[in-house]
Structure formats: structure tokens, C-alpha cells
Amino acid sequence: MSDKVNPTGFWFDIQKPQTYSDYFGFALIISFFTAVAIPTGHELFHHKETHNKVIGIIPCVTLMYTHFIDEHLKGHHKTVSTLDDPATSRKNESLYAFIPRSMYGSLVNVWGYESKTILKKYGKDANVFIRFFCNKMVWY
């Protein structure tokens, strides 16, 4: 490869891929471990033990998909296979239609769950600052 290609990051400081096949292999391995991490994390955050929940949350944090945890536990388990569940595909729905609808729907649902929690905790007269900054979705 040309010397102009200069990727940065922890792994590339240790060993830099020298060929296109090295780059492809690196991307394939990272993709595989990412694909395994999310289902494993999903199973772990269903456990009652705190250490399992923490370990299960790590893949979601690294992929910036932590709202999935709240949506899955608070929403999906209660509304599974209904039209209210964004994680349930519609009949004959394509994958390209399902993924954006599911991602957007889960974000909206978690924002709603958090807003209801804030209203219960602080009351209807809570100011905008509290409603915004106490919402987990802002921190996610």
C-alpha cells in the first residue's frame, strides 16, 4: 500500500495493515466480534446479577446504542408482536424499511419513557432544564 494511507488508533499504532487484504481481514474480524457482542450483551442484561448487567451494557455503549437496553426491557417485552412495538417487523416489510423505522421508533419510545419518569419524579411543573438534562436519552 502507499505510504499516504496512514490510519490512526490504538491497533494501528501496534501493527499497521500493509495490504488491502490486511485491511479487509481487519474489518471482517471487527465486524464479526461486533455482531457477536450485541446478542451476547442482550442475553447478559436480562440477568438479575449486577455484574452481568454491567458486562451486557458494554457492547451497547461501545456502539452508541444504549437506548436499546431501555427500549428492549421497558417497551419490547410489553408490546412484542403488536403495532406499538418498533422492534417487530410488519408483514412483508423489507429490511430497508424495518431498520430505520425500528431505530427511530425505539429512540422516540425511550424519550417518552424517560419523560414519564421525570414527570412522576419532579411533577408537571418541572422546568425545561430538568426535563431535558434528567432525561437519559440526552446522556445516551
pLDDT tens digits, residue range 55-67?
Answer: 998 988 888 888 8
Q: How far apart are CA 48 and CA 45, in angstroms?
A: 8
Helix (H, G, I), strand (E, B) or coil at 33: helix
Asked if residues 29 and 13 have their Cβ atoms less than 8 Å apart, the reply is no
pTM of the model: 0.71
pLDDT in tens, 19-41: 888 888 888 988 898 889 989 99
Asked if 105 contacts 93 with a C-beta cutoff of 8 angstroms, the reply is no
What mean pLDDT is predicted for residues 35-48?
91
Range in 11-15, 43-47, 68-72 with the lowest mean pLDDT: 11-15
pLDDT of residue 104: 93
Domain regions of the chain by residue span = 86-140
d(CA 71, CA 102): 11
pLDDT value for 116: 92
CB crowding 59-68: b at 16 or more within 10 Å, else e: bbeeeebbbb
Do the Cβ atoms of 71 and 109 come closer than 8 Å? Answer: yes
Q: Contact at 8 Å (CB) between 109 and 36?
A: no
The model's pLDDT over 84-125, given as tens digits with 9 standing for 90+, comes to: 999 999 999 999 999 999 989 999 999 999 999 999 999 988
Mean pLDDT of 69-82: 89
The CA–CA distances, whole Å, from 138 to 49, 116, 133 equal: 26, 15, 6
What is the pLDDT at residue 137?
83
What's the gap between Cα 54 and its chain centre?
14
pLDDT at 131: 87
pLDDT for residue 126: 87
